[in-house]
């Protein structure tokens, strides 16, 4: 049995994050040998968010607050969460979400989901779609017909 403590796991910064983002993260799945479920622990400094407002097309996601009081944005609006609060994000528009730390203290959350080798996400605020892999983003307004360029 593999074991990782979610309060003690070492979180690392991604230096490529733009202002307003940059939560430190640990990918827990690989640490415990997970292959079909993914889990990450995020440490969110004051004023930062985990990722842009988005929803998954094929992956369900769950969030549990480990410490602090993050603000969760969903299609129903914003609400503050507290330690041990849990939220579920189903696939599709109803599961859109963004997690932000609007407090003066560090927030630590855990997010897990089923893991798929190929997936897409929609970003409603910027009208983009993300394709993974190759981790590329496209504007929905640039869409073409199925046979465009084929004939």
pLDDT tens, N- to C-terminus, the chain (151 residues)? 689 999 999 999 988 889 999 899 999 999 999 889 999 999 999 999 999 999 999 999 999 999 999 999 999 999 999 999 999 999 999 999 999 999 999 999 999 999 888 999 999 999 999 999 999 999 999 999 999 999 8
Single out the residue of 49, 43, 39 nearest to residue 68, CA to CA.
43
Single out the residue of 132, 46, 145, 63 nearest to residue 97, CA to CA.
63
3-state secondary structure of 149: coil
Query: Which tokens is 90 given?
Result: 């189903």
Peptide bond before residue 5 is cis, with ω within 30 degrees of 0: no
Domains of the chain: 24-116 (2.60.120.10)
Residue 44 forms beta bridges with which residues? 107
Give Cα separations from 67 to 16, 55, 143 (angstroms).
25, 24, 41
Confirm whether pTM is higher than 0.85: yes
pLDDT at 14: 85
Residue 77 forms beta bridges with which residues? 74
């Amino acid at each position: 049995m593999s074991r990782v403590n979610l309060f003690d796991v070492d979180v690392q910064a991604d230096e490529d994050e733009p202002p307003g983002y940059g939560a430190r993260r640990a990918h827990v799945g690989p640490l415990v040998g997970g292959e079909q479920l993914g889990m990450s622990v995020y440490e969110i400094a004051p004023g930062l968010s985990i990722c842009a407002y988005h929803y998954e097309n094929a992956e369900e996601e769950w969030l549990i607050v480990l410490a602090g009081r993050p603000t969760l944005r969903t299609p129903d609006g914003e609400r503050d969460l507290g330690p041990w609060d849990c939220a579920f994000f189903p696939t599709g528009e109803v599961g859109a979400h963004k997690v932000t730390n609007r407090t003066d203290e560090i927030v630590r959350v855990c997010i897990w989901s089923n893991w798929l080798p190929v997936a897409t996400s929609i970003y409603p605020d910027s009208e983009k779609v993300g394709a993974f892999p190759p981790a590329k983003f496209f504007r929905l307004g640039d869409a073409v017909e199925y046979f465009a360029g084929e004939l």
